[in-house]
Every structure is written in structure tokens, then in C-alpha cells.
Structure 1
Amino acid sequence: MESMWRKAKLALGLNHCVYAPSTLGDASPSDEPSLRSSRPALASPASSAFSVSRAFSKSGSRSSKKTCSICLAAMKPGHGHALFTAECSHSFHFHCIASSVKHGNHVCPVCRAKWKDIPVLGSLSSEFPHGRARVNPVNLQQDEGNMNILRPLPRAISSNRQHYRMPVFQDLDTSIFDDDEPLDSLSEVAKESPQGCIKTVEIKTFPEFSEIVQSSSEENFTILLHLKAPLAQTLQTSSGCLQDNTSRNSRAPVDLVTVLDVSGSMSGTKLALLKRAMGFVIQNLGPSDRLSVIAFSSTARRLFPLRRMSESGRQQSLQAVNSLISSGGTNIAEGLRKGAKVIEERKQKNPVCSIMLLSDGQDTYTVTPTTGMGQQAQPNYQSLVPPSIRRNSSHQVPVHVFGFGADHDSVSLHSISESSSGTFSFIEVEAAIQDAFAQCIGGLLSVVVQEMRVEVKSVHPGVQLGSITSGSYASRIADDKRSGLIDVGDLYADEERDFLVSVNIPPASQETSLLKIGCIYRDPMTKEAINVDDVEVKISRPFFLTTRVMSIEVDRQKNRLQAAEAMAKARSAAENGDLPQAVSILEDCRRTLSESLSGQSGDRLCMSLNAELTEMQERMANRQRYEASGRAYVLSGLSSHSWQRATARGDSTDSSSLVQAYQTPSMVDMLQRSQTMSPLTQHPTRRIRHAKSFPARPHPR
């Protein structure tokens, strides 16, 4: 059984610079008895991720002798890097394993064997007169500093020396976070020779009816505004990896801060898969992108400042992530505070900036109740988000939140995403972490529109705006009801947005011009403001009209909004303890959708809305099911619909015919890359849910 356990950890630890850790596995030498006694329990193949890992551990081990399991680079003689072969027979680059040891890891990252000889970098101390490193002299062409092998101190001594086991992240956290690495000089060249998008945002409009009788007036007449972002030039001309010279300057570089939960509940498989997912993120960031990682448990620490993902930056980032151990409680607010501090105090800024937060627990340090007038006190979840990064703040940054497992607080995490203009994803299956991260960065690495604002103006003197339905996007109508604005913000390449505007139309004797729709935004590459020409909405005014046919595009979007509203109402009923009423609300919505014009025509969007509502009904079957997964599933769906952006949600099913409505080509590409690279994709529960979310919405005609 122990052999199988070692194979599972080996499989999880090879290709993405991670190992299968646990609180026990990361114990210091003094913890040996408890470690030995706990292994039989840990060897139980209860985790689906471990059972899958055993299937490919054999193939993964074949490349371990040629590849450093920490930095993933090749280990070949004569390439200027000293090699270290441990007594357990596993080999590493000396500088990689010495860095791991510096962070307090005194066991093999692959097999977890305890070492008698410990490699370190630096000057020899009089306390450890053990000579230079034991390395293969054939492979050594340069002096990697003073490389030494240190033998562990006796327990009697080590217990009195606090510096023997160095705490993780030591000397990497400071009071001021202005030590971000300067931007890539090639990014400055790109500013002089911009490679922005060839096309601009596309605007289409669809009136509810194309004709209105001359003598008639219409109130709450609906007009659909359809926006589509351009496809980035790099996506049109290059299909290579993000690190090649052709594509790395043809998209906007990113400043990404990941805030990761490493509390005690993340031990074992969870932490191993989180490290694997972070390895994927690091490997897919370009040399102009910068990354900083915040790890939090009872407190929060910054592993490293914003650092460019050059070759050396990737190696150091992988080593830092690999050093993570799990322990303590869950202080989400402190993790976000550190992440916001990185954003606020950076000296230089990449065009795109975002925070990714993952947690599997509930914040037990910051959330305080807010009192109402005679009502039950509700927690103040907004207190978890630093004011500086909230919506409409000076450093507003979207926080894309990932709720992990059945024990996370989906309400608080959803609130964090909403208050920062980010999305909330529900990761129900442990092995889906990497896919969820891949989908998110696939979007972040393709931003082509920033600070977009849509302007709606009345043309006919008698036409007035009634309302603008824009989900979570801020919108406003002027007092004279002659104009309105929608703040859309950033768009990924080829991303779409749909908004419904209602107007009041007076009688008229001839063709009526209703509205003019235009938009202005900033190109993240050129920094230039782009004005899109106005699109005019007109309707015919015949003297006599026998029948009127409603626009199927308008009907489709009305169904989408109606379904989202039903989800919100059902959740409210469920939170009040009335699950039968919640199920009834969803059932009534399904019936209405099936009777609609688009529903009767076999529209794929309506079919997927029906499947999604059905899934929510099943997750509201009883209180236990709702608490375990129903609430998080509904909140993730609401987040996706309100922002019209793809989120990961629920468990996993495999369907080749249906994909999420809000996925962009860059998201799909990155998701496929994740599923191709990881052997875990062969497992039927590996994929992010597609079938019961949304299909790709058809392009309006």
C-alpha cells in the first residue's frame, strides 16, 4: 500500500513541479513517529485524483531521470548546471533543490524520503563544517556559489535552534511592496510599434419588431444591443505558444496576483493539485507578464513580488509554489489585503491587472455581522474586500474567485467577486482546479478592450428611454430620458455582450429612427481611445399590418434574463427554507421557456437554459444537497449570467456537442491545452462542466 502511495505522489509531482504534500508529509525530522504512524491511513485510495494518478505514474517516472522535478528543465551533462543526486536516487539541479531546502523542506520532493545529507547554497558556517556539495564533477562547468551538503542537527540541538527549519517565505515579505520587477524592455518597443487589433468592436441592433403601425404607440418596446469584441491580431496570425517572439508582444501583458488558501484543510491532494494548477499558470504566462503569489492561512505572506515570467522568473516561481505547506485557519481578508497591497504599491503597471483567489473554507477572522432594523443580523461580507480594489475605487481590480469543495463559504466568495467586478466559480471536483484556472487565464491573456462605455441616444424627439437591462454592469439614464450609458469595462478577444433597452415610441407617419448606439474604449496595446461609429436603429411604419413576427434574437435574450431572474428567486426561497417553492419557481420558468418563440423553434440556448434549470432543481431536492453543492452552483450560475462571462461550476460531465455560452476562443484554447497536458483528463470526472451550462450562443444574424 505504501508503494502505491509513493507512486501516486510521484505521478503528481513530476511534470508540473509539484509533489503530493500533506501536513504530516511536511513535518520536520522531529515529527518522524507521527509521520510513520499516519502513513497507512493516508494510503487509502479514497481520492479520485490519486486513483487516476496511479494510472499514469509509470509513464511519468520514465522522464524523471532526465528532467528536474522542480523546474521541469532538462538535466544534461555539460549544460553549466550542477546536479545533486540524493541518497534516494532522485536527481535535481543543485540550485533548485537548495532553494527548496532553504524554505524548510528536508525531504525528497518526489518520494518524500528523509535525507541525511541536506544541500544548501551559501557560505559555510562554523556550525556546519561539512565541505562542498556532493555533485557529479562531469556536469559542473561553473561554480554555483558555495554549494554545501549539511547533515541534520541532532534533535537535542535542533529543538533549540529556531533557524534550523526556516519558515516558508522568510525574508520575502516587506512592509512596502514597491519592489516589483521592472517591465520587459520589449514591452516598451511594442509601444513604439503597436500591434493592436485590426478591427474594432462590432455593434449590432435588433428591434423587438421590425414594423409598427403608423397610428400606434408602443411602450416598453425592446431593442437588443449586441456587442462583439475584435479577435486579437495574435490569434489571427499565430497559433504558437505564448512565449514565442511572434506573439508575446501582440497582446496586452498582465499583472496577475494569485491569493491561495493553504490552511490545514488544504492538505494532501488539494494542495498537490493546487500546486499543479499554479505550475500550469506559470508555464503559460509570457515573459512580459508578471506574477505575484500570496499564500494565506491564519495569516498571509507574499511568496515573491511581481516578477516577470522569464525563464529564471518561472523557475523561481515554481520553486516558491513548490515550497508551500498547509496549516492553520482561513483568513481570506488578510490574503486579499496583501494582494491589494501588491497592486497599490507597484512602481510600474502592465496594461491588464487581475487577482485570482482560491479558498476551500470560511473566513473566521474578519467577517462581522451587520445589524438591521429588527431583522436578523447578516454578515458583512464586503469587509473581506479592501476598499482600494472595490468597484469604482482608485485601484479597482477584478477578483476572480474560486470556491473549492463542499465546505467553502460560497456566499462570501460570491460577494467578493461581485464587489470587485470579478466572477465566482464553483470547483466541486478536486481534479478540476487546473482547468478552472486555465479557463480564467485564457481570458485574461486576451484582453483587447478596456474601459468600454456604450452610449445610447434618442433620435426621434418623441422617443424616450424606459430602462436598460445590463445585469451587473452599471447603467444610467439621463433625467430627460433622451440618453443613457452602460459601463462595460474590459472585453476578451471575441467576447460578446447583450443588453436590452426599452423605449417608448410615439405614432408616426413614416419610417422612424429610434436610437443611435455608439461606444468608446481604450486599446490596451496602443493606449489610444477608439470611437466606434454610431449604429442607427430604425423601424418601418406601414399604414396597415396583418401580423407581426417577434425577433428571435430578442426573444432569446429575454429568455436568458428570465432564467437568471428565476434562479435568483429560487435561491431566495431556498435560503428562507422553502425548497419546494424554489423548485416550483424553476419548473415554472422551464415551462415558460418551452412555450416561447425560440423555445418552440428548438433554439440551443433555450435547451441549455432548460438543462441548467433542471440541474438546479436536482441540487435543491433536499437541504443536505443544497447546502453541499446547490447554493454554490446557483451562485456561480448567477455570476456567469450577470457578467456574461464563463465560470467553472459544479462537478464534471463530458459532452462534445455543448460548450459554455460565454466561453471565448482563447478560453477554449487554454482549456484544451490544460486537458491535453494533464494525464488526469482521461478520467470522466476531469472536465469542467459544459453540458449543463450553456452552448455557444449563435451569432446574431
Structure 2
Amino acid sequence: MSLDVLMKTCAICLGSVETGQGQAIFTAECSHSFHFACIGNSVTHGNYLCPVCRARWNDLPFVMPHLNPNANNRSIDHESFPDIRNLFFPAPQQLLPVRHRPVFEPEPLQFSDDEPLPAVTADVSPSGLQNVSIKAVPERPAVAASESIPRFAVLVGLRAPSLSEDARLMQRAPIDLVTVLDVSGSMHGSKLTLLKRAVNFVVDSLGPLDRLSVVSFSTQARRIFPLRRMTEHGRDDAKRAVNLLLASGSTNIVEGLKKGVQVLEERHHHNPVASIIFLSDGRDTCNHGYQLPTFSNQRQPPQYLHLLPASICPGNRGTQDQDQREIFPVHAFGFGSDHDPLTMHAISDSSAGTFSFIESYEMVQDAFASCIGGLLSVVTQELRLMVRSASHGVEIKSIPSGRYASEISDQGSQGTINIGDLYADEEKEFLINISVPILMNAEGEESERRTSLLDITCSYRDVVSKEIVQIEGDLVEIRRPESPSPPDLVVNLEVDRQRNRLNAAESIAEAQRMADTGNLSGAQSLLSNRRSALLASPSGQAGDGLCMWLEAEMKETEQRMGSRHRYEREGRAYALSNMSAHGYQRATTRGSWAAAAFGGSASFCSGDLSARASASFNGYMTPHMADMVSRSQQLNKTEDATASRPQQLNKTEDATPNNSQQLNKTEDATARQE
């Protein structure tokens, strides 16, 4: 959204403030314009600062005290909820003194007032989706019978089924979503306007079975909208609540997240998926958590994180609640260059969420779109991958599973990875490192000599039928000839590219740790060397799309560590967002980048990241996520075009008198010639 368009937009309702549309316009002394009805209601509630630039107004819009702001508002359609008109527009005679007037009614003691879900029918038939697919690829197809290998890799991949266009609502899990939004003073102006647009996009994307609650925080936190279904009425009321937000006060991250968790913990009804979207543009200034950057020691997240609930920070569990129930993923969005990336990454990482770095303010809607595209396409839950040794002497040595919990048991004969939710078309790939023994009984035909390596199975819960599904993969085997042929010695490119992914993720994490201790040149040198090694690998030489994308990401991270100032402003956040994406193999937004289409084009708004190298691979982004981003971008283009149309019309009208004057001059000249 361009700033020129923002100047033609009412920052309160986000509608156009072009003249000639049948609405009274108030233009303040600071030159910002608003609908008179919108700004009049804001001033009635004691807000005498410009919602855009925060300038104090001397000339205020005059509002008649008997005006009834309830006339055109729709009440909530469920009798268990208070009238939304009273919630947002208290009667004038009930107003408190200026600066102490609440816009929203008092919160209940408990948030068990969530809107009930529709009754579940007795039909629990499967969702109609295909099953999760399993693939397994050994590092090499053959190993000499007389050879033992202490570390041999087997790539195991899982892929979720697709969602059909005509049955998306029936094949995915409905969601309970809480947005926790920073509305401190630093969010004033275009930042808050763009945030409102982004949240309204999320509202429009949710279905009637999905529920949304909105929490805002500055010095204190408030639940400004209860957990309600996004029916037509629910969407209208949610937008009305969001559009009334104003920026002021300090930043209290702890209270904001506590309030968001409270909504989910105290709800009476439960959708299968529950998540928190958390956005902030600053550091917590209310819990003594601010830490000045220091290069004498590695920076750590602030101590105030121990104040957060265990349902988003499991490390805060006491000895009595180690078996605590649900963990709510927090998808954190650091907005601009002044947010606290260490804190936001730590919160998202501990809750199995993602951390995105929104460098350009105009990117916030696309970033939300990518995230919500995944959350609205959950097709499997409680996904668990199990591998078991299939022969004596084959031992599981290690499972580098990123941020997914893994375990090796039974003296190396069994391994498990707990993955959890899977989005439609999402893929997860893991390297299982095993030992391959000498083939002791090398009898029979050489072509038939084989060693069975791994049995692979997975289990998950179908989101529609709620039934547990068990899937068995093919037995993983390799040939055991006396002397392998040259093709038998070639490492599989899929295994090699997965090694490159793990190496790139570890390189970025290691460089980030070095940069935090002040060794910026060492961090850059490490990334440069690892990039060269990646490009020299078999998959890099083959021009593999993932490898090209990894190399471009490492190069961009390296460049953002070019100076202490740049690292503090953007490099740390960029690296941590990268680490979040690789740790969970899930897409995040970084810098000023947004994927325009899956497997297609990509747009890079700043920096010199090699777009052409990575355009064919938009790391971890699923088709549904990319489709949601494309919808967001198309909506922005449409709104830009709509906002600019009145201006073009005015120019045309202005030119009309000139055309008439020219015509008159021509007629006069003709008359003189005659």
C-alpha cells in the first residue's frame, strides 16, 4: 500500500476520503483527512491527537451531544453476547472525563464467553483426503558386501495431501485464532493503518467455522473482541473493533501475550487448531526486559520471559504440571527495525511457532497472508514418524530433526520424530544417519544380495474424522555387490540437497552467534566459505532450486552483517527468521520479501538478494500459502487503483475547460480568416 494512497484513506475506518462520495470530510490542521463521523466519534471519546501523526489539534470537529451513533450498527446475532453497539459506542451521558473514557466495555473475570461451535453430526467418515505419503531414499543404491559404513544417510520424506478447491472448508481443521497486536505510541500513523488493513484481510479470510479474538496491548492489555465465529455478522463486528484501535502508551509484551493465552485457556468450546498471531514494533518497556546490545558476551533473551504462561513457554512449567496439556503456537511478527528479535524468536521457537521479520511496513498484510494460508490448511495433526532397524547390525546413530523433538531408543534400533500439524501439500524431510555392517553371509546370486536398512511408518489424526491413521512406507534396502559399479558410488542428489539444507541452517545459526559476540568479520567469512562449499556440492553443481535459494539466503544474511549498525537494525532479525524457517521447515517472511506464487515469481523489495536464483523455489511455502499471498497482493493493487481513480477523474475534469477554450480560439481564428 503506497503512502500516497494512505493519505487518501481515513485512518479510522480505512475508507476513501476522496470528495464527491456523499460523506462529510474533516481535514485537520496537520493536513490529514478523516470522515467526519469517524473522527467525531474518536474525539467524543477524548482522543485529541491526530491518529496518523499524533499532532495535538487546537481546532476540533464539533459533535452534537445528542447524535446517536448506534443507528446503522448491527447487533450480535447470538443472544449470549452483549449488544456490539454498546460495546463500541457508549451513550454520551455515560462518558467519563477526558482521557479516562473506555471505548470498550469492562472485560469479564473469565474468558469463557466464547461463541459456541455448531453441533457436530454423528457422521465421522474420513475427510476424503488422500493419505500422507512417505518416501525413503538411501544415500547410495549399493555398498560393497565387504564394506562397513559407520555413517550412512537415508532420506525420509513426508508429504501432506492436497486440499480440493470445492471442499476446502470440509477437509481442513477449523481454527481458533487470537491476534495480539501492539498499539503502543510507536505504532501511530501509517503503521497502525497498515496493521488494521492486514487484520481485516485475516478476518475476511476466515470461514464461518473459524473463530477470532483480538487482543491489543500498550502499557496494559485488553481483549477488545471476544472469541467469535467469523460469520458475516462476526466479520463485520471484528472489523469494527479493529478499526477503532488507536496508538498510545508503552509496550507491555508480557501482558499482551498473557491476555492472548487467557482467551484460549479459558474458552468453553474448542476448535481443533488454536494459534496466536503476535505483532510488535518495539521492546518491552514495562517488565525491565530491555537489554542494551553488548558485544562482550552473547546476547540472550530477557529474563522476563519466565513471566509468560507455560502454554507458550513450556520451559516455565513447574514440577507439578510437567504433563500440561496444549501448547499454543505463537507466530511472531517483528515490525520494523526497533523490535526485539531475540525475544520474539525465543517466544515463537519455544511454542513451535514461526518468527517473521517485516522490514517494510507495506509488507505486513502479505506476511499475515502467508501465515494464515498455512493455518487455514491444516489437514493432519499429531503426526509422528517412526523408523526401525530392519537388519541386525544396522543401528540408528543420529536424527538431525531441527526443532522437532526426536528420540533414539532400544539401543539404536528405533527412532521417532514428533512433527504435529501438517499443512496441505507441506513436506518435511529428515536424514536418518545409520551404520551399515559388513554382509556376513554373502551367498547366492550377487544381484540378489541385499541389506534391509529401515522399516518406516507414520501415524496421525485425521482432522475431520478424528481417527488415528497408520501409514506404512516401503522397506528401505540397498544392494551388496562384491564390487560396486561407478553409478553405485554416486551420492543421491536428494540426500545431498538435504545435507546442504542442514549445513546452511547450521551456518546461519553459527554466524548469528558469532555476530552477537562482536565477531562480524568472522561471521561473514564463515558464511562466504559455506556458500562456496554449497555451490561446489553435487546438487549445487546441478543447479538444484533449493540449493540456489539456500545460497541466496546465506549471501543476504552475510551482507546484513556488514556493520554493527546494520546487524543491530536488520541482520539479527533476518538471521533469526531464517533459523525459524529452517528449524520447522515452514515458511516465514524475512526483510522485504514476499513470494508472489508457488514455484513462480518472487518479489524482492530491497537488498540485492539474487531473485533469479531463488525464484523457482520459495522455501517451504505451500501452494495454499502462496495463493493467500497472491490474493493479498491483488487486493492491494485493486485498492491502489480504486484510490487513484478519483484523482485521474479530477485531472480529466480540470482539462475539459482548457479544451473548450482551445475550441473557442480555433473558432475565432476561423472567423477572422473569413
* TM-score interval for Structure 1 and Structure 2 normalised by the shorter chain: 0.7 to 0.9
Q: 1:376 to 1:605 in 2, by over 3 A?
A: closer
Deviation at 1:611, TM superposition (A): 1.2
The answer on whether the counterparts of 2:496 and 2:539 sit within 8 Å (CA) in structure 1 is yes
Residue 637 of structure 2 is aligned to residue 679 of structure 1? yes
Measured in 2, the distance between the counterparts of 1:304 and 1:315 equals 12
Look up the match of 1:251.
172
Look up the match of 2:523.
582
Look up the match of 1:528.
467
Residue 191 of structure 2 is aligned to residue 270 of structure 1? yes
**Secondary structure of the equivalent of 1:532?**
strand
Look up the match of 1:619.
560
Deviation at 1:283, TM superposition (A): 1.0
Look up the match of 2:162.
231
Aligned residues: 578
Look up the match of 2:511.
570
Deviation at 1:108, TM superposition (A): 11
Q: Paired residue for 2:130, among 185, 195, 199?
A: 199
Look up the match of 1:336.
257
Look up the match of 2:607.
none
Look up the match of 2:14.
18
Measured in 1, the distance between the counterparts of 2:556 and 2:102 equals 43
Please list, as runs of the form range in 1=range in 2, the aligned pairs for 1:141-180 lying within 5 A after superposition: 162=96, 167-180=101-114
Measured in 1, the distance between the counterparts of 2:115 and 2:90 equals 32
Q: 1:449 to 1:527 in 2, by over 3 A?
A: same
Q: Paired residue for 2:306, among 362, 378, 383?
A: 383
The answer on whether the counterparts of 1:366 and 1:383 sit within 8 Å (CA) in structure 2 is no
The answer on whether the counterparts of 2:546 and 2:617 sit within 8 Å (CA) in structure 1 is no
Q: 1:630 to 1:107 in 2, by over 3 A?
A: closer
Q: 1:131 to 1:357 in 2, by over 3 A?
A: closer
Q: Paired residue for 1:601, among 542, 545, 550?
A: 542
Measured in 2, the distance between the counterparts of 1:86 and 1:423 equals 44
Look up the match of 1:544.
483
Measured in 1, the distance between the counterparts of 2:103 and 2:90 equals 21
Deviation at 1:284, TM superposition (A): 1.0
Residue 62 of structure 2 is aligned to residue 116 of structure 1? yes
Measured in 2, the distance between the counterparts of 1:377 and 1:599 equals 34
Deviation at 1:485, TM superposition (A): 0.7
The answer on whether the counterparts of 1:100 and 1:319 sit within 8 Å (CA) in structure 2 is no
Residue 418 of structure 2 is aligned to residue 484 of structure 1? no
Residue 401 of structure 2 is aligned to residue 470 of structure 1? yes
Q: 1:581 to 1:284 in 2, by over 3 A?
A: same
Q: 1:134 to 1:366 in 2, by over 3 A?
A: closer
Measured in 2, the distance between the counterparts of 1:145 and 1:549 equals 70
Deviation at 1:473, TM superposition (A): 0.3
Look up the match of 1:423.
354
- Per-residue CA deviation, residues 377-418 of structure 1 (Å, 9 max, x unaligned), is 953263253113334742201000000101001011100011
Measured in 2, the distance between the counterparts of 1:5 and 1:504 equals 60
Residue identity matched to 2:499: K
Residue identity matched to 2:343: S
Residue 239 of structure 2 is aligned to residue 326 of structure 1? no
Measured in 2, the distance between the counterparts of 1:673 and 1:301 equals 31
Q: 1:133 to 1:350 in 2, by over 3 A?
A: closer
Deviation at 1:635, TM superposition (A): 0.5
Look up the match of 1:68.
none
Q: 1:487 to 1:134 in 2, by over 3 A?
A: closer
**Secondary structure of the equivalent of 1:249?**
helix
The answer on whether the counterparts of 1:439 and 1:671 sit within 8 Å (CA) in structure 2 is yes
The answer on whether the counterparts of 1:446 and 1:666 sit within 8 Å (CA) in structure 2 is yes
Q: Paired residue for 1:497, among 422, 425, 428?
A: 428
Measured in 2, the distance between the counterparts of 1:220 and 1:174 equals 59
Residue 234 of structure 2 is aligned to residue 313 of structure 1? yes
Deviation at 1:587, TM superposition (A): 0.8
Residue identity matched to 2:459: I
Q: Paired residue for 2:208, among 287, 292, 301?
A: 287
- Per-residue CA deviation, residues 264-319 of structure 1 (Å, 9 max, x unaligned), is 11111111110110111111111111000110111111002101111111111111
Measured in 2, the distance between the counterparts of 1:666 and 1:310 equals 22
The answer on whether the counterparts of 2:25 and 2:35 sit within 8 Å (CA) in structure 1 is no
Measured in 1, the distance between the counterparts of 2:245 and 2:386 equals 48
Q: 1:102 to 1:462 in 2, by over 3 A?
A: farther
When normalised by structure 1's length, the TM-score is: 0.75
Measured in 1, the distance between the counterparts of 2:168 and 2:306 equals 40
When normalised by structure 2's length, the TM-score is: 0.78
Measured in 1, the distance between the counterparts of 2:149 and 2:68 equals 87
Look up the match of 1:261.
182
Q: 1:249 to 1:458 in 2, by over 3 A?
A: same
Look up the match of 1:511.
450
Look up the match of 2:282.
361
- Per-residue CA deviation, residues 17-74 of structure 1 (Å, 9 max, x unaligned), is 437xxxxxxxxxxxxxxxxxxxxxxxxxxxxxxxxxxxxx7xx848955xxxxxxxxx
Q: 1:593 to 1:163 in 2, by over 3 A?
A: same
The answer on whether the counterparts of 1:274 and 1:433 sit within 8 Å (CA) in structure 2 is yes
The answer on whether the counterparts of 1:103 and 1:170 sit within 8 Å (CA) in structure 2 is no
Deviation at 1:9, TM superposition (A): 3.7
Identity %: 46
- Unaligned ranges ≥5, structure 2: 28-32, 73-83, 315-322, 443-448, 594-602, 605-610, 642-674
Deviation at 1:249, TM superposition (A): 3.4
Measured in 2, the distance between the counterparts of 1:451 and 1:101 equals 50
Deviation at 1:454, TM superposition (A): 0.6
Residue identity matched to 1:116: F
Residue identity matched to 2:272: P
Measured in 2, the distance between the counterparts of 1:270 and 1:63 equals 27
Deviation at 1:606, TM superposition (A): 1.5
User: What RMSD, in angstroms, separates the aligned Cα atoms of the two structures?
Assistant: 3.6
Residue identity matched to 1:543: E
Measured in 2, the distance between the counterparts of 1:132 and 1:365 equals 38
Look up the match of 2:223.
302
Residue identity matched to 1:307: R
Q: 1:86 to 1:477 in 2, by over 3 A?
A: same
- Unaligned ranges ≥5, structure 1: 20-56, 66-84, 119-127, 137-143, 239-245, 684-701
Please list, as runs of the form range in 1=range in 2, the aligned pairs for 1:441-456 lying within 5 A after superposition: 441-456=372-387
